[in-house]
Structure 1
Amino acid sequence: MADLLFAAGALVLLICGAGLAALWRGEGDIDRMLAFQLLGSGAIAVLLLIAPAMSEPALLDAALLTALLAALAACAYRAALGGRTPPAPDAPERQP
């Protein structure tokens, strides 16, 4: 069973590698933020898969901490954008 969990963890790491490539060549801020979220989710998945395989409960705590930090990093990245959002194409203009 542990071998299956390690194999699943390796597969998730390969998928995260594709996310890292998207992060490297991301064209827009939204693409980069979503690729970063993919990397955070992948890291959480790998930790959750490897924890029972290694019988190491501390990895579950690391997964929870990674989830918290990934969410905060996404909020910080959004705040760094300065609140710039493109207007919706069908939204009516606001009158001051």
Structure 2
Amino acid sequence: MILNFLAICTLAATLAALPRLLLGPTAADRILATQLAGTGTVATLIVLGAANNAPALFDTALVFAALAAVTGLAFVALRRTRP
């Protein structure tokens, strides 16, 4: 019960970054919002996996963690190539 509530809280924190991701005035804001969304997604999946005793969600969280890291690097590399 408490883990489900915690999952909802982490999901709400993740969704709080969405306006900054879409409307961020600078690229740095969007990069940080993307990293926050990736971290929040991983946290939500881990909490849901623990709440429902679903090991597949842990594997999915691992994939999202890897994708979040690659996405952050891609944004930084893209930003460096543009003037």
Among candidates 2, 8, 14, match of residue 4 of structure 1: 2
Segments of 4+ moved more than 4 angstroms? none
Bigger RCO of structures 1 and 2 (CA < 8 A, at least 6 apart):
2
> What amino acid maps onto 2:43 in structure 1?
A
The structure with more helix, counted as a fraction of residues: 2
> What amino acid maps onto 2:77 in structure 1?
A
Matched, 1:33 2:26: no
Unmatched 5+ stretches in structure 1: 86-96
Identity %: 36
* Larger-Rg structure: 1
TM-score (norm 1): 0.81
Taking the TM superposition and a 5 Å limit, the aligned residue runs for 1:2-81 are 3-81=1-79
Measured on the aligned residues, the alpha-carbon RMSD in Å equals 1.5
Unmatched 5+ stretches in structure 2: none
